[in-house]
Amino acid sequence: MPHVEEGSFLTLHYRMSGPQGQVIIDTFGGQPATLSLGAGELSPAIEQRLIGLEEGVQTVIELDEGEAFGERQPEMVQWVARKLLNELGDPHEQYVAGDVVQFPTPDGLGNYAGAAVEVREDGAVLFDFNHPLAGQRVRFEVQLIGVL
């Protein structure tokens, strides 16, 4: 049977949940995910745990606080001026706490998410750019369908 190695191409179902059991992503009800190990689609800690698993296996990986997505970093909670938000997105957008907004990376090739925490009178928004599961325990349930 094929085993997962660095650079393996995987077809899998997975369910990732936080410490209170809140499901962040779940592919079991639909199409399986396909990804290339080492391409950064999963956190390095999760990828390391997949290495050596055999095709067809279904298992649960428990990751300790901060292991999956790092510790929470206070400097990743930042105010973003309304002027900049207007330039990056829809000037008419009304932001409220809890909104998750995609921001372009400086090179313009990708994006990253920030969760709105607070909105000021002047329209500036306090965003938390930490991963929602940063600093938390993560349960990663995986069914390895195919390994290439």
Measured between alpha carbons, how far is 130 from 10 in angstroms, rounded to an integer? 27
Report the pLDDT value the prediction gives residue 81, as an integer from 0 to 100: 97
Pick from 132, 91, 124, 129: which is nearest to 112 by CA?
129
Q: What is the pLDDT of residues 84-109, one digit of tens each?
A: 999 988 889 999 999 999 998 888 88
Q: What is the pLDDT of residues 11-64, one digit of tens each?
A: 999 999 999 999 989 999 999 999 999 988 888 999 999 999 999 999 999 999
What's the whole-model pTM score? 0.77
Q: Do the Cβ atoms of 12 and 57 come closer than 8 Å?
A: no
Q: What is the pLDDT of residues 98-142, one digit of tens each?
A: 999 999 888 888 888 999 999 999 999 999 999 989 999 999 999
